[in-house]
Amino acid sequence: MRLDRATTHPGEKNMNRYEGRRALVTGGGSGIGQATVLRVLAEGGKVVAADVSESGLKDTHAKAEAHAERLTTVVMDVADEASVRAGVAFALSALGGLDVLVNAAGILRSSHTHATSLADFTRVVTVNLTGTFLVIREAVPALLEGDSPAVVNFSSTSAMFAHPYMAAYAASKGGIQSMTHALAAEYSKQGIRFTAVQPGSVSSGMTDGSGESGRSHGPGLPEDTDWSLFAKLSPALGEGFAGPETVAGVVAMLASEDGRFVTGTEIRVDGGTHF
């Protein structure tokens, strides 16, 4: 039984969870971000998909043809403060407010740590961690006025488990996870829920290098990679990696009313890779 076998969304029995809800999804031009955009649209939501890749956003729009009237796209570089300010402002204007924020934008670059340049390390942390912070900072005022507001951030199994050659990525995702807990506490009495997902063993543009987004670089493992170090990174369920829609379903639950009592925590979505 394959985890990515379904061509329809598993949440179809409750397709109105997002009716009347407004969502901004970063990294919406490929991979899990794109899958999340399509899932929220399928459940009735109004979405702004943001991505650094214009071609990726065009692909998302084409795939969302049945719900195109509820989808708006915006080119936004989460690593650039001015771009985030402009992009979030555009999204708020297009949506008329904000109820849900999903921070899926990120990059993955791999190398021997002793051969990693400061520029490469800083770039990964800037896009993944600082980018998540910048979007949240700009969106919080609108979320405070939103309906059952929720933020879903993207951590990774690498934040808690050893993923060799990915020190910068692991550091950025660990930071996102810690920041999610801090934000959940800070805004708990004001009604904003903050959660994180930890994808692992999921096939996407980021993990297989096929993503169109300029922010979704493949892992690029070193030529002399010791593959025995990856022995513990195989999923116990299914036949190989799951598709990005698997994670999108969990994100949709967390940001919906079904997740109304979940905050300040993370959910691992890895098919039992890390029992």
Give me the active site residues, please. 169
Tally the residues of the chain.
275
Alpha helices in 96-229 (DSSP H): 118-125, 131-143, 167-186, 205-208
CA dihedral (151, 157, 159, 163) positive or negative: negative
| Pairwise CA distance, residues 61 & 116, whole Å | 36
At residue 153, what are phi and psi to the nearest 5 degrees? -100, 160
Residues 6+ apart with CB under 8 A from 160: 174, 177, 198, 274
For the CA atoms of 92, 18, 46, 4, the dihedral, rounded to the nearest 10 degrees, stands at 120
20: left (phi over 0), alpha (psi -120 to 50) or beta: left
Angle at CA of residue 251, ends 232 and 150, nearest 5°: 130
Residue at 7: amino acid letter: T
Angle at CA of residue 16, ends 11 and 17, nearest 5°: 75
**3-state DSSP call for residue 102?**
strand
Decide the pairing of beta strands 265-269 and 100-103.
unpaired
Q: Name the one residue in this structure whose structure tokens are 């543009």.
A: 205
